[in-house]
Chains A and B, each alone.
Chain A
Amino acid sequence: MKTRALLVFIAPSVVMMLVFIALPLTTVFWQSFHVSQPVFETVRVENCTTSFLSQVCTTEEKTRPVLGPDGKMQMRSSFVGLSSYANVLEMGKAFAALADRNWRALMAINFWKALRFTLTFTFLTLPIVLLLGVTLALAVDSAARSLRGSIIFVSLLPFIITPVIGALSIKWLFIGDGILTSLLETWLQRDVAVFAQSWSIELIMMFYRVWHVAPFAFLIFYASLQTVNRDTLESAIIDGASRWERVRYVVLPHLAPVLVFVTLIHLMDSYRVFEEIVGFSSQAHVISLQWLTYDFLKPDDSGNRSISRASASAMLTMIGVVVLLAPLLRRTWADFRGSRP
């Protein structure tokens, strides 16, 4: 296909991505260095009260927002350099905490707390999801053909469920004296309050995430297993390979590209962990990077959104995801370049 024809075909898609992804990115970049505030003016106001014999007049200086011709407050954005970033990062406090080796103080700063959770969450769930996905795929592949359809149907349930709803449905099992909490209590012979401390919430969040995404990994692996070369498997058997050796030397190498694909998708998705925070309403204990930006964007009690801070935290989140994915992206890039006709 000629480049011209290609451009016509990809135009709608590329325009959508330019307008709604690339453009907002540049806006975010700009906003993170600027603060938009109402313009204030200082005016002298003379207040006179009528009283007997003489008027009492006081003059005072008042600051008030300048109203534009349309009666709205005039806004002016000014360049503030890195101060929004400084507000988000709170480096002064962070360095003091580091100097004191005071982990607790560092974790009192929202950004570092969110970063810590996001990274732990991402890297602890990844191996479990991969392992569970491969095991499920191998198990279903060796199950009776008549059962496979139903197993896949049931497995798809956690995957398609709305993330917030999925998190809620697990929360309801544990909330208060929910059935699983009371089960734990009879088993451990002590009072259990799952949503009262952060480690148990984090554990449940990770459990939820594995439950939610393992089916996707499983489906991809299962689909890939269908294309394993039967001849290679049979020659491995003739060569006397044991069951484990066949998995290790034939099946897993066949799955390798798909493993990279699933890892890439999982890193992307779990780095933006957010719905769990909403579903388990854990913001008092555990927050994630994406939730931090979301919280800045939400109007506060007086209806203001701290756009500049949100942009700074968004930029930092983005830098994080680029660093996290750089090795995998490079690999994909190289593979892709090599395979190009």
Chain B
Amino acid sequence: MSLPRVLRQPWPVRLAYAAFLTFWCVLAAFPILWITVMSVKEPVDAFAPNALDVITGPATRAAGRGISIPDLVLVAGLLAAGGALWKIRLRPVLFDSSRSLLGRLAIGAAAALATGALLAAAPAFSATVSPWFGALGKPLVGATLEHYEAVWIRNAFYRNFSNSMLVTGGVVLISLTCGTLAGYGLSRSGARIAFWVLIIALVFRALPHSVLVAGYLPWFINSADLLRPLLGDAAPTLYGKPWAVIAVLVAINQPFTIWLLRSFFQSIPTELDEAARVDGCSHFQAFRLVIMPVMWPGVLTAGLFSFLLGYNDYLVTSLLLDAQNQTMVPAITSYFNAETTMRDQVEAVAAAVSITAPLLLLILAFQRQIVSGLTAGAVKG
């Protein structure tokens, strides 16, 4: 789109903006890129004072681990093959809405699994292939996956990962179910009570989470004794149970969710559900048949924020979960105690990168929806 000449900016302004944006992008991406680089290096390299040493990793290279020319060729070949396969076979199938959702999901999962298996097998394959090339097979840049191996396999990080997924999944599911209903109801009502619910929710949004946890802890620890008269011997101790934490996080997240979804539903014309009501639907039928098909962009945005809250939480999970149900974020702090070695530090870096990776995938997949959802929703709130 070409703007009229008056609206176009003079070059000094454009240059300043360009410089500013470049600076910001570097600033935004640098720490994350850098810890990714650190996580594949031997400790000496990872914490080297010289930036070039961190990137090339002389100590890691000396240990014979790294990416060599044959590896690069291999990776390029795989990427080309994968790209072609994606373009010709996978993309048409995955985004073909005429096929069944379940089948598409299965194919997607199979493709992801195959990619994962290839990635896992790559280092071993490269180790057997590299010696065949003699001097050419020497690594150019030091890189090793040993820290990831230590974190995920030796320290059983997969257990924390599945706990995180359980908690996050539960939070997203329940908070969206409650939140959409409440958001829709509030957007279609001018009653006094709707007004007060929203104002009180806003006040609740401001509460520091530690205040709430201070309220839960005694109850949760003693819940078995307190609930025994009601539930008999089946009375659970809520402390340490993932589903108790899910309930807590859902409640903490409700205020933001209902505000966001309320403003989103307000942008859906009332005529839609009024027409359905005229045709004899109940409120709930109108919601299900008319509103549900058009609400997914808003729900997706709210879901992303719920996901971030559940996945990123440290305070609630570290206080209310016991060691065996611990999620990933509190688990990482176990690397920092009195006897932390350099190697532990790099393992913590690898764990940090592992925690960040799913979030990256998430915004890769949903970036457009985040922006459009905010445009439609939160802005008016």
Could you list which residues of chain A lie within 8 angstroms of chain B, going by C-beta atoms?
1, 3, 5-10, 12-14, 16-17, 19-21, 23-28, 31, 36, 135-136, 138-140, 142-143, 145, 149, 151-158, 160-166, 168-170, 172-173, 175-179, 181-183, 211, 215, 219-220, 222-224, 226-227, 233, 237, 243, 258, 261, 268, 271-272, 274-275, 278, 281, 289-290, 293-294, 296-298, 305, 307, 310-311, 314-315, 317-318, 321-322, 325, 329, 332-333, 336-337, 340-341
- State whether B25 touches A290 (Cβ < 8 A): no
Stretch of B118-126, B140-148, B251-259 on the interface side: B251-259
Interface string of B211-237 (1 = CB under 8 A from A): 111111111000000000000000000
Report A-chain residues with C-beta under 8 Å of the C-beta of B252. Answer: 20-21
Complex Cα distance, B291 from A9, in Å, reads 14
Q: Which residues of chain B have a CB within 8 Å of any CB of chain A?
A: 1, 6-7, 9, 13-14, 17-18, 20-21, 24-25, 27-29, 31-32, 34-35, 38, 47-51, 54, 177-179, 181-182, 184-186, 188-191, 193-195, 197-219, 247-248, 250-252, 254-255, 258, 283-284, 287, 308, 311-312, 314-315, 319, 329, 332-333, 336, 345, 348-349, 352, 355-356, 359-360, 362-364, 367-368, 370-371, 374-375, 378-379, 381
Q: Does B51 lie within 8 Å of A179, measured CB to CB?
A: yes
Closest to B311 in A: A162
List, in ascending order, chain B residues with CB within 8 A of A261's CB. Answer: 378-379, 381
Would A9 and B25 count as touching, CB distance under 8 A? Answer: no
Query: Do residues B208 and A3 form an inter-chain contact, with CB atoms below 8 A?
Result: no
Do A16 and B247 contact each other (CB < 8 Å), given the known contacts A5-B283, A162-B312, A169-B352? Answer: yes
Once the chains bind, are A290 and B209 in contact (CB under 8 Å)? yes
Beyond the given pairs A162-B356, A223-B378, A293-B208, 19 more chain A to chain B contacts, judged by CB atoms under 8 angstroms and listed by A's residue number, are: A3-B189, A6-B194, A9-B185, A10-B194, A17-B255, A27-B215, A160-B359, A163-B314, A164-B312, A165-B329, A182-B49, A223-B371, A243-B13, A261-B378, A290-B208, A294-B210, A310-B210, A314-B214, A341-B190
Q: List 18 A-B contacts (CB under 8 A).
A: A10-B185, A10-B186, A14-B182, A16-B251, A20-B247, A20-B252, A21-B251, A149-B367, A158-B28, A169-B31, A182-B49, A211-B27, A219-B371, A222-B371, A268-B205, A294-B213, A310-B210, A332-B199
Query: Cβ of B204: which chain A residues have Cβ within 8 Å of it?
Result: 17, 21
For B214, give its contact among A36, A145, A307, A337 (CB under 8 Å): A307
Known: A9-B185, A13-B181. A220 touches B379 (CB 8 A): yes
Given contacts A6-B185, A23-B215, contact A220 B355 (CB under 8 A): no
B214 lies within 8 A of A310 (CB): yes
Tell me whether A12 and B356 are in contact in the complex, defined as CB-CB below 8 angstroms, given that A177-B49, A321-B207 are known contacts. Answer: no
Q: Do A19 and B214 touch (CB < 8 A)? A: no
Question: Does the CB pair A13–B182 fall under 8 Å?
Answer: yes
User: Are B209 and A173 within 8 A (Cβ)?
Assistant: no
- A-B pairs, 7 with minimum CB distance: A24-B215, A9-B185, A20-B251, A13-B182, A182-B49, A293-B210, A272-B208
Contact among A31, A138, A181, A341 with B218 in the assembled complex (CB-CB below 8 Å): A31
Q: A142-B17, A272-B208 are in contact. Are A156 and B214 (CB under 8 A)?
A: no
B residues in contact with A135, CB < 8 Å = 20
Q: Are A271 and B185 in contact (CB under 8 A)?
A: no
Contact A164 B314 (CB under 8 A): yes
* Contact residues in A for B6 (Cβ distance below 8 Å): 237
Asked whether, in the complex, the Cβ of A275 is within 8 Å of the Cβ of B314, the reply is yes
Contact status A143-B49, CB under 8 Å: no
> Chain A's nearest CB lies how many Å from the CB of B314?
5
* Distance of B92 from chain A, by nearest CB (Å): 23
Give Cα distance in the complex from A330 to B240, angstroms: 39
Q: Please name all residues of chain B whose beta carbon is closer than 8 Å to the beta carbon of A181 when the two chains form the complex.
A: 49
Complex Cα distance A19/B247, Å?
A: 10
| B332 contact set on A, CB distance < 8 A | 164-165, 168
Question: CB-CB < 8 A to A311: which residues of B?
Answer: 214-215
Cβ contact of A307, chosen from B193, B217, B355, cutoff 8 A = B217
Inter-chain contact B208/A318, CB cutoff 8 Å? yes
- Residues of A within 8 Å of B333, CB to CB, are 164, 278
Q: Please name all residues of chain B whose beta carbon is closer than 8 Å to the beta carbon of A157 when the two chains form the complex.
A: 28-29, 32, 360, 363
Residues of B within 8 A of A31 (CB): 214-215, 218
Report the bound CA distance from A222 to B210 in whole Å: 33
By beta carbon, the residue of chain A nearest B46 is A172
> When the two chains form the complex, which single residue of B34, B215, B217, B345 contacts A305, counting CB atoms closer than 8 Å?
B217
Min CB–CB distance A141 → chain B (angstroms): 9
Across the interface, which residues of A come within 8 angstroms of B284, CB to CB? Answer: 8
* Cα–Cα, bound, A29→B216 (Å): 12
- Contact A6:B193 (CB < 8 A) given known A139-B17, A237-B6: yes
Residue of B208, B217, B250, B368 contacting most chain A CB atoms (<10 Å): B208
Kindly report which residue of chain A lies nearest to residue B192, judged by CB atoms: A3
- The answer to whether B210 and A290 have CB atoms under 8 Å apart is yes
In whole angstroms, what is the CA distance A274 to B9 when docked? 42
B72 to chain A, nearest CB (A): 25
